[in-house]
């Protein structure tokens, strides 16, 4: 039982030596079962290791929706994007425990790492709403893989353990009626701060959404080199 907890939610895929399957554009991953996910590759930089952001959709959403917040910025940032579909209406841990969605993500990451060159120093996991809750949970558990976590309007987090020390970006609307800020981010941020994480937190006037300026702020934060961020 203890061994199962140690490996619960663990992602094993790691950046390696990619092949030549990373031309620009939107690519459907997997063997055609519909759950492989979507990879967006911006133009240029062939063979160059680039930042990757893994993005999770909100409840009832899909991989396309997971890309929505950051895909308008991907070309300008030279940033790879990956999004997968949850097996059910929302992510596995929210429905009772880590399982099929972690496995699907691990398979997708392995395929991405085999196709394109990924910068291991700029590898983010993020999402909106339930997707943000999932990103916080998986990012904290897999901090030996993910260097950054981007959480737009999270509801909670449920990591089974802590691994590494990824930087965290959290945003939330003060008028959010879906996931009220007092019960959500204003509870989460003090908790992760006490745990020693480097947290950038932005409250904005608005509801349950990702304003374009918040998305841009998150991308700019993600792309800052580690040496500058530590300065």
pLDDT digits (tens, 9 = 90+) for 152-192: 999 999 999 999 999 999 999 999 999 999 999 999 999 99
Helical residues (DSSP H) of 93-154, grouped into ranges: 100-115, 130-141
Would you say residue 149 lies in a domain? yes
Please indicate, yes or no, if residue 50 is contained in any of the structural domains.
Answer: yes
Q: How high is the pLDDT of residue 36?
A: 77
Confidence at 34, pLDDT banded by 50, 70, 90? low
Rounded CA-CA distance 9/19 in Å is 27
Structural domain total, the chain: 1
Q: Is the pTM of this model over 0.75?
A: yes
- 19 found inside a domain: yes
pLDDT at 20: 66
Question: Does position 48 have pLDDT exceeding 90, yes or no?
Answer: no
Residue 28 lies in a domain: yes
Mean pLDDT confidence for 74-81: 97
| Residue at 191 is within a domain | yes
- Residue 58 pLDDT more than 80? yes
| Residue 35: per-residue pLDDT | 67
Do the Cβ atoms of 163 and 142 come closer than 8 Å?
Answer: yes
Residue 231 lies in a domain: no
CATH of the domain at 147: 3.40.50.1820
Q: Cα(59)–Cα(156) distance, rounded to whole angstroms?
A: 14
**How many angstroms separate the CA atoms of 33 and 8, rounded?**
25
Q: Residue 22 falls within a domain, yes or no? A: yes
Domain that holds residue 21: 2-226
Number of alpha carbons in the 13 Å side-chain half-sphere of residue 27: 20
Give how far Cα 77 sits from Cα of 53, 81, 86, Å: 11, 11, 27
């Amino acid at each position: 039982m203890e061994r199962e907890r140690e490996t619960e939610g663990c992602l094993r895929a790691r950046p390696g030596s990619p092949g030549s399957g990373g031309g620009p554009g939107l690519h459907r991953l997997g063997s055609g079962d519909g759950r492989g996910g979507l990879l967006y590759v911006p133009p240029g930089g062939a063979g160059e290791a680039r930042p990757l952001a893994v993005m999770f959709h909100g409840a009832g959403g899909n991989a396309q929706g997971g890309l929505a917040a950051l895909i308008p910025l991907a070309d300008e940032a030279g940033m790879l994007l990956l999004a997968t579909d949850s097996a059910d209406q929302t992510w596995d841990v929210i429905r009772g425990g880590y399982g099929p969605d972690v496995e699907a993500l691990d398979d997708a990451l392995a395929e991405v790492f085999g196709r394109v060159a990924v910068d291991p120093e700029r590898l983010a996991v993020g999402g909106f709403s339930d997707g943000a809750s999932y990103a916080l949970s998986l990012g904290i558990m897999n901090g030996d893989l993910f260097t950054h976590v981007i959480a737009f309007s999270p509801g909670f987090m449920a990591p089974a353990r802590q691994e590494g020390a990824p930087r965290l970006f959290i945003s939330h609307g003060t008028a959010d009626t879906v996931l009220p800020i007092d019960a959500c981010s204003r509870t989460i941020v003090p908790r992760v701060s006490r745990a020693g994480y480097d947290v950038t937190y932005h409250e904005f006037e608005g509801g349950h959404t990702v304003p374009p300026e918040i998305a841009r702020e998150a991308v700019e934060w993600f792309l800052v080199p580690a040496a500058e961020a530590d300065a």
